[in-house]
C-alpha cells in the first residue's frame, strides 16, 4: 500500500525575503507606531506596581544555604541554585560561584503576517534585575518551573503556541547556551513560531516589525536579552555567496578551536570556594572583582506571582562586547573569537572580538589587555557603526550592563590573517551557525541580532 | 588601505558530484582492483606478526586499580581510565563502568584525485579488539597521546596533513561523539583532507575510491568503525529538494527531543559501582549482561609500539542496528530515533530505528521489546536492502560486533506519523546534520556511510 504523502520543501526559501520586508518596516507596524512606543511602555509601567528592594542574602524568604556545603537553593529544590565551581581552562585555574539550573526554558516569539508583513508579538515584561525594570521581551519567557506550575503562579500567556506541535509554522527552534561564565551548562529553547490564528494582543503585548524592534535596539536597555537571543536565530542576514573562508573551512577552523582547548569544570560546595567570601549581604570576591551574589525582594502587578524574593548575580563594572567589522571584496565580515568559558557545555563558543569588563584591565599595561581592547577603546566615532548598552537577563542578573559595539577596522587594525582563536566570518555564516546550538554565545547573538535587524548598518 | 582579498565560494558545490563519481568507481581505483583487495589484506596480515592474548585484569602491565576508589588507569595517567558512572535517564537509574578519555583524537582520511576520480588513502591497521585483527582504517587514527608522543612510539604516518593548516583542502572536519553507552563525553575529530601533493602510499596503505570502499562495506568486519564514521561526514547523499519535514521542522523536532529528556550522569569510584563485580579476570555485571571489562596482551609488527597490554570492553551478545526505510513521494527516508545515552555530552543524538542487543530482550514478552525490534527480526529477505556485521573500534572494544541492516517498511509496519522519539528524515538531511557535532551517534553514522557509499541501495 502506497500512501500519498505531501512532501515539504527542505528549505524555506521565502523566509529571508519575508524577514527583509519586515526589517524595512521601521516607522510603523500594525499595532503601534515606533514613535509611540515610549508612551506605550511608560503606560505599561504605570499600569503595574513594581518595586525591587535589596535584601541581605541571609533574609531572602524561601531560600537558604544548605547545611552541608552551603549551596544556596530554594526550599522546593526547584528554580536554580548557587553552587561552587572549580575551573581549569588551558592550565589556568580558579574557583567561583555558579548558577546551576539543569532544565530547559522556553524563549518564544510568536510571529504573524499583517498586510503582507511579518510582525512579532513582543511583551513589556518586568524583571527585577533590569536597569529600567520593564523591557521588551519575547512573547513567552518560561522556565521549566513556570510551565510545569512549580511556583503556583498564573498561566503563562500564549505558552500553548510553543508547547503544542502543529500549532503554527516553525521559523526557528534551537537550544542556545546562556552565559558560560555565570551558568553551568544552561541552555534555553529559542523559538519563533508563525501563527495563522487571530491573536489579539493583551495589554502588555504588541505586534512589532523587525524594523521597529531594530530601531528600539538602537536605544539603551529597551530590548531584553532573551528577545535578542531569539531574534538572532532567524535568518535575517543576507546569505552571501562568498566569504574569506568557505563554510567548510570555517567549520574546520571552529573544530580545531574546540579541539585545542581544554576546559575542566567540577562542581564544589559553595562554602569552599577559594577567594570568595560570604558577608551578611553578599557573596563576593575578596578583591571585589567579577560579580557578587546579592538578594532582592520584588513586588509586581503583572507577573504570574505578585511578590517574591530571590538571589541575583550583580556584575562589577560595565561590560564591553564589540565586533570588529571589515569588508573583503565588498562583503562585510565580523571578527569572531572562539572563547573557552567555564560553564559552556562544549569547551568553546564564538563570541565577539572583544568581550570583557575593561575595569579589570585598565590598571594593567596595555600589553596585558585582551586583544583588540585597546583598539576598540580608542576608536573614533567615525569608526563606530553601532553603540548601545544592553543588559543581561533580569531574572538572574542585577544591572548587568554591557556596551555593545560594531567597530569598523582596516588591515592595520586587524589583519586579514587574525591571531589564533580569531576568524573573519560573514553575518550570513553566523546565521547559518545560529540554526544549531553550541556555536554562538549569548553576546555574539546580541550583536548578530543587531546586524540582522538594523537596516544599512554594515 | 584596501587589500584585495580573494574570497572563497561559501559552498563547495562541486564536491557532491565529485563524490558521486568516486562512488561509481566500484571495480577498480588507481592502486588496487577491488577483486585484489583480499589478497592485499592477507598479504599485509602475513607481513606483520600480530598476536593478541587475554590477560587477567590484575596482570595487565602498566595499568593498575587506584587504591582510592579502584579506578583502572595507566601509570602515566594518560590514555584512558575505566571509572564508575551513576546514571539517571528520565527517572530510570543505574550504575556502570565507563571509559573516561577527556581528549580529542584525530580520525583523518587523506583524499586525492587520480584521473579525475577522488581516491581515499586507507590503511590496513591492526587493533587488538577487531574480530579479524586487521581492518581497513582511516589514513590516520591518532589519540592525543599518539600525536603528542606519550607512548614513545614511532611517528604516526601522514599525521602532518591533519595537524598543519593549509596543507590541503578541507572536505570535512567535525567533532563527532563516540559510543554514548561506553564512553563519557568522548569525541574525535573526523577529517577528510584533499591533498595536491604527490603521496606515494606506504605498504600498509592503498588509494581506494568511494565505490571500492562501499563494496568492502558489503562484507563483514572489513571497514573499521573509524573509517565509517569519517566517511559519513562527507556529503555523499543526494541533497533532496523535499522531505516529509522541512529542515527547520526536523531541527525543531530534534530540539524538542533534546529538551524533553533528562540525563544526569555522575562519575563515581569504580569500586562502588552497584551490580558490577570484579573477579581476577574481569569486571562484569552480576547477571553477566551488557559487557565486561577484560585485559589483553598485544604483540604487533606495524604499530607505533610493538607490544603492550591494555583493558578492553567486551560486549555480551551481538548488537543489532537497523534503519527502517520508506519512500515518500519517491524520496527515500530513514526512521531515526532520538536516543538518550548516559555518556553523550548533550542528552540525545539520533540513532538508527533499532539499536540494541536482542539477547537482552528475547526472553521477555514481545510487548516489552524496543519498538520495531520485532518487525526487524521477522522481516523477510525481500525487505532487506543491506545486511552486514561490523565491529566497534578495536582499540577499546573486543569483538564488539553488531549486525547493521536497512529494512524496507510500509505504512502498516511504520506509519507516516511514527511514535514519539522517532522521525522520518532523508539521507541528505542526515548528511547536513553530520557537518555538525552532537547530532548523529556512531551507529547512525555507520549506516549513513553505507547509504552514501553503496550505489543504488535505496
CB pair distance less than 8 Å for B264 and A5: no
- DSSP assignment of A246-315 equals -HHHHHHHHHHHHHH--EEEEEE-GGG-TTEEE-SS-EEETTS-SEEEEEEEEE-SSSSSSEEEEEEEEE
Determine the residue of chain A that is closest to B174 in CA distance. Answer: A255
- Among chain B residues, CA nearest to A166: B249
**Which of B7, B102, B268 to mutate to probe the A interface, most A CBs <10 Å?**
B7
Give the cell for residue B157. 604516518
β-strand B263-268 against B117-126: which pairing, if any? unpaired
B110-145 residue pLDDT tens: 999 999 999 999 999 999 999 989 999 999 999 877
Measured between CA atoms, the residue of chain B closest to residue A262 is: B103
* ipTM given for this complex: 0.96
Check CB contact under 8 Å for B246 and A438.
no
Q: Can you tell me the mean pLDDT for A234-245?
A: 94
**Closest partner residue to B7 among A8, A331, A428, by Cβ?**
A331
Residues A415-450 have pLDDT tens digits of 999 999 999 999 999 999 999 999 999 999 999 999
Least confident of A37-46, A165-174, A312-321, B184-193: A165-174
Name which of A172, A256, A328 is nearest B5 (Cβ-Cβ). A328
Lookup: cell for B71: 579506578
Pick from B12, B175, B240: which is nearest to A258 by CB? B175
- What per-residue confidence (pLDDT) applies to A314? 97
Domain count within chain A: 1
Nearest alpha carbon to residue B314 among B370, B361, B357: B357
pLDDT at B150: 54
CATH of the domain at A434: 3.90.79.40
Our CA-based measurement puts residue B129 at a distance from the nearest CA of chain A, in whole angstroms, of 27
CB-closest option in B170, B189, B242 to A8: B242
Query: Would you give the DSSP letter of residue A440?
Result: B
- Asked if B245 lies within 8 A of A8 by C-beta distance, the reply is yes
Which of A244, A252, A255 has the CB atom closest to B5's CB atom? A244
Question: Across residues A137-159, what is the average pLDDT?
Answer: 78
B80 located within any domain: no
Question: Residue A281: inside a domain, yes or no?
Answer: no
Contact A175 B258 (CB under 8 A): yes
Please count the residue pairs, one from chain A and one from chain B, whose beta carbons lie less than 8 angstroms apart: 147
* Mean pLDDT of all residues in A28-36: 93
In a domain, B129, yes or no: no
To the nearest whole angstrom, how far is the Cα of A34 from the nearest Cα of chain B? 31
Best mutation target, B1, B2, B4, B5, to test chain A (most A CBs within 10 A):
B5
Q: Which of A10, A173, A249 sits opposite B252 (nearest CB)?
A: A173
Secondary-structure percent of chain B, ordered helix, strand, coil, rounded to 5: 20, 35, 40
Which of A6 and A404 is assigned the larger pLDDT? Answer: A404
Query: At which residue does the C-alpha cell 547545611 appear?
Result: A67
Whether B275 maps to a domain, the answer reads no
Q: Do B438 and A435 touch (CB under 8 A)?
A: no
User: Does residue A377 form part of some domain?
Assistant: yes
Q: What is the pLDDT of residues A88-145, one digit of tens each?
A: 999 999 999 999 998 899 999 999 999 999 999 999 999 999 998 999 999 999 987 7
Residue B172 lies in a domain: no
Cell 564536491 appears where? Answer: B15
Nearest residue of A to residue B172, measured between CA atoms: A248
- Tell whether residue A339 is among the known ligand binding residues: yes
For A359, the domain range is: 247-263+317-453
d(CA B141, CA A341): 29
Q: What is the mean pLDDT of residues A251-275?
A: 95
State the best of A2, A4, A5, A326 to mutate against chain B, taking most chain B CBs within 10 Å: A5
Class of residue A213 by CB neighbours under 10 A (exposed 0-12, middle 13-18, buried 19+)? buried
For residue B151, what pLDDT is reported? 52
Taking an 8 Å cut-off on Cβ atoms, the answer to whether A248 and B1 are in contact is: no
Residues of B in contact with A235 (CB under 8 A): none
Q: From the CA of B383, how many Å to the nearest CA of chain A?
A: 15
Residue B428 lies in a domain: yes
pLDDT of res. A6: 87
Which of B107, B163, B165, B248 best tests the A interface by mutation, with the highest count of A CBs <10 A? B248
**pLDDT-based confidence at A155, cuts 50/70/90?**
confident
Q: Provide block-wise average pLDDT over 10 residues at a time, chain B (458 residues).
A: 74 96 95 95 91 94 94 92 96 97 94 97 96 96 74 76 83 97 96 95 96 98 98 94 97 96 94 94 94 94 76 97 97 98 95 96 94 97 98 96 98 96 98 97 98 94
Q: Check residue B31 and give its pLDDT.
A: 85
How many angstroms separate the CA of residue A175 from the nearest CA in chain B? 6
**SS3 of residue A119 by DSSP:** strand
Q: What is the pLDDT of residue A115?
A: 96
* pLDDT for residue A1: 42
Residue B162's nearest CA partner among B226, B205, B105, B108 is B108
pLDDT 10s digits, B360-372: 998 899 999 999 9
Residues in chain A closer than 8 A to B429 (CB atoms): 10
Any domain includes B378: yes
DSSP element (H, E) containing B401: strand B401-408
Amino acid at each position: 500500500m502506497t500512501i500519498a504523502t505531501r512532501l515539504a520543501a527542505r528549505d524555506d526559501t521565502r523566509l529571508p525575503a519575508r524577514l527583509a520586508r519586515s526589517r524595512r518596516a521601521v516607522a510603523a507596524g500594525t499595532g503601534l507606531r515606533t514613535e509611540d512606543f515610549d508612551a506605550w511602555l511608560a503606560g505599561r509601567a504605570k499600569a503595574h506596581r513594581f518595586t525591587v528592594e535589596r535584601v541581605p542574602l541571609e533574609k531572602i524568604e524561601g531560600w537558604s544555604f544548605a547545611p552541608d556545603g552551603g549551596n544556596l537553593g530554594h526550599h522546593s529544590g526547584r528554580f536554580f541554585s548557587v553552587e561552587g565551581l572549580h575551573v581549569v581552562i588551558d592550565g589556568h585555574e580558579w574557583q567561583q560561584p555558579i548558577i546551576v539550573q539543569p532544565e530547559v526554558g522556553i524563549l518564544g516569539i510568536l510571529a504573524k503576517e499583517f498586510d503582507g508583513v511579518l510582525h512579532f508579538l513582543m511583551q513589556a515584561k518586568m524583571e527585577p534585575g533590569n536597569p529600567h525594570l520593564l523591557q521588551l521581551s519575547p512573547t513567552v519567557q518560561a522556565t521549566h518551573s513556570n510551565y510545569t506550575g512549580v511556583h503556583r503562579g498564573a498561566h503563562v500567556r500564549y505558552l500553548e503556541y510553543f508547547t503544542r506541535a502543529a500549532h503554527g509554522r516553525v521559523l526557528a527552534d534551537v537550544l542556545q547556551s546562556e552565559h558560560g561564565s555565570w551558568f553551568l551548562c544552561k541552555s534555553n529553547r529559542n523559538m519563533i513560531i508563525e501563527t495563522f490564528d487571530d491573536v489579539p494582543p493583551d495589554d502588555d503585548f504588541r505586534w512589532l516589525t523587525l524594523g521597529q524592534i531594530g530601531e528600539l535596539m538602537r536605544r539603551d536597555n529597551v530590548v531584553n536579552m532573551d528577545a535578542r537571543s531569539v531574534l538572532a536565530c532567524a535568518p535575517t542576514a543576507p546569505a552571501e555567496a562568498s566569504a574569506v573562508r568557505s563554510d567548510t573551512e570555517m567549520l574546520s577552523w571552529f573544530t580545531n578551536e574546540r579541539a585545542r582547548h581544554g576546559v575542566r569544570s567540577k562542581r564544589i560546595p559553595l562554602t569552599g570556594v577559594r577567594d570568595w567570601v560570604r558577608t551578611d549581604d553578599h557573596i563576593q570576591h575578596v578583591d571585589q572583582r567579577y560579580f557578587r551574589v546579592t538578594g532582592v525582594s520584588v513586588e509586581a502587578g503583572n507577573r504570574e506571582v505578585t511578590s517574591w524574593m530571590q538571589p541575583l548575580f550583580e556584575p562589577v563594572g560595565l561590560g564591553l562586547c564589540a565586533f570588529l567589522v571589515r569588508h573583503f571584496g565588498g562583503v562585510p565580515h565580523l571578527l569572531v573569537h572562539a572563547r573557552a568559558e567555564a560553564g559552556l557545555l562544549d569547551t568553546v563558543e564564538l563570541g565577539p572580538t572583544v568581550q570583557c569588563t575593561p575595569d579589570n584591565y585598565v590598571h594593567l599595561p596595555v600589553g596585558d589587555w585582551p586583544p583588540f581592547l585597546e583598539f576598540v577603546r580608542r576608536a573614533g566615532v567615525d569608526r563606530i557603526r553601532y553603540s548601545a548598552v544592553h543588559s543581561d537577563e533580569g531574572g538572574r542578573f542585577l544591572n548587568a550592563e554591557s556596551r555593545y559595539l560594531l567597530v569598523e577596522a582596516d588591515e592595520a587594525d586587524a589583519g586579514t590573517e587574525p591571531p589564533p582563536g580569531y576568524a573573519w566570518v560573514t553575518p550570513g555564516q553566523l546565521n547559518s551557525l545560529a540554526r544549531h546550538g553550541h556555536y554562538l554565545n549569548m553576546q555574539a547573538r546580541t550583536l548578530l541580532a543587531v546586524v540582522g535587524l538594523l537596516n544599512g548598518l554594515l
